[in-house]
Amino acid sequence: MKIGKALIGFVLLSGFYLGILFWADSKNNVISPLPLLAHAIPVLMGFSLCSYLFRYLRWRWLLRRAGYATPWVYGFFAYIAGFAFTATPGKVGELIRIRYFAKIGVPASVSFGAFVYERALDLIVVLILSSLVISRFDLFLIAIVFVGIFIFLLIFFACNPNLLSYFSSILYKRSFLRLANLLLTIRDGLISCRSWFSPLDLLVTLGYGFTAWGITSYGFMWLLSDLGIYIQPLPAFTIYPLAMLAGAASMLPGGVGSTELTIVILLGLYGVATPTATLAAIGIRFATIWFAVLLGFFCLGLLELKSTKSVD
């Protein structure tokens, strides 16, 4: 992906989000209370940064276990740069990391495999966290089905890579060369995933995942308390993970709109007024996905600047 295209996508998605925000304001007056979030946003960003650190440590662990040691600072910036494209269906835009890790010797198949492995772990971790208290069984059932299908397909094709080779050969014969190559890339990435199916890797990476998402969930709990929303700790802790799963299942870019709506619905079950629930949804999303995108563009710019200077 090119930075120009990323900026266009970011502008379009931002416009879409602002449109939703103004529509919500016409119904429930959510814009005028936004200044109430001014002091909370920096704190929430701090929680997000801590979460990103543990997610990077997980990524670094996977690459080291695959035999590729990466420089700390460069690796962190390259990892965070992927967040510039995180507001895409399935977060596939984060694969831009392949470009930057390839420059330090990490094969594309390994980076792709680490990305898929991360997505699977995140789904499992978020599903477990959201299951601690089931407040909306219908949403939770959708989440179970969504996660179950993804994990099944991952394991099935990782254990049967020849199927993807067969499908790729068919596409080659029909001159769908780009799609055929994509299937081969997916095949090689899934083969890489198999090296991380060991108990040690699962234990360590799940530990990093629970820590990262637990920090974000705690940040949402803190935001609720700051806004004067009083809910029992365990239900409050599980609202954001369940909303994230609902957003992922919607397949909307970054779960924009669907995640916020789920948060408002879940908070409404605990008697929280819609304007206040919407304010909480906007606050946590700004400090997570929108902050991640902006931080990703910052790191992307630094890496591109470094590449330009190296060429000069």
DSSP character string of 116-175: HHHHHHHHHHHHHHHTTS-S-HHHHHHHHHHHHHHHHHHHHHHH-HHHHHHHHHHHHHTT
Percent of the chain surpassing pLDDT 70? 81
Residue 262, pLDDT > 80, answer yes
Mean pLDDT of 122-142: 78
Listed range (51-65, 139-153, 194-208, 269-283) with the worst mean pLDDT:
139-153
pLDDT for the residue numbered 8: 60
The pTM assigned to this predicted structure is: 0.84
Q: Please, what is the average pLDDT of the chain?
A: 83
Using pLDDT thresholds of 50, 70 and 90, give the confidence band for residue 96.
Answer: confident
pLDDT for the residue numbered 16: 59
Residue 80, pLDDT > 80, answer yes
d(CA 277, CA 285): 12
Per-residue pLDDT tens digits for 278-305: 889 988 988 998 899 889 989 988 888 8
Higher model confidence: residue 216 or residue 261? 216
Contact status, residue 156 vs residue 150, Cβ threshold 8 Å: no
Mean pLDDT of 172-184: 80
Higher model confidence: residue 213 or residue 179? 213
Residue 88, pLDDT > 50, answer yes
Residue 311, pLDDT > 50, answer no
Using pLDDT thresholds of 50, 70 and 90, give the confidence band for residue 25.
Answer: very low
pLDDT for the residue numbered 166: 84
Using pLDDT thresholds of 50, 70 and 90, give the confidence band for residue 6.
Answer: low
Distance separating the N- and C-terminal Cα atoms of the chain = 22
Listed range (17-31, 65-79, 81-95, 104-118) with the worst mean pLDDT:
17-31
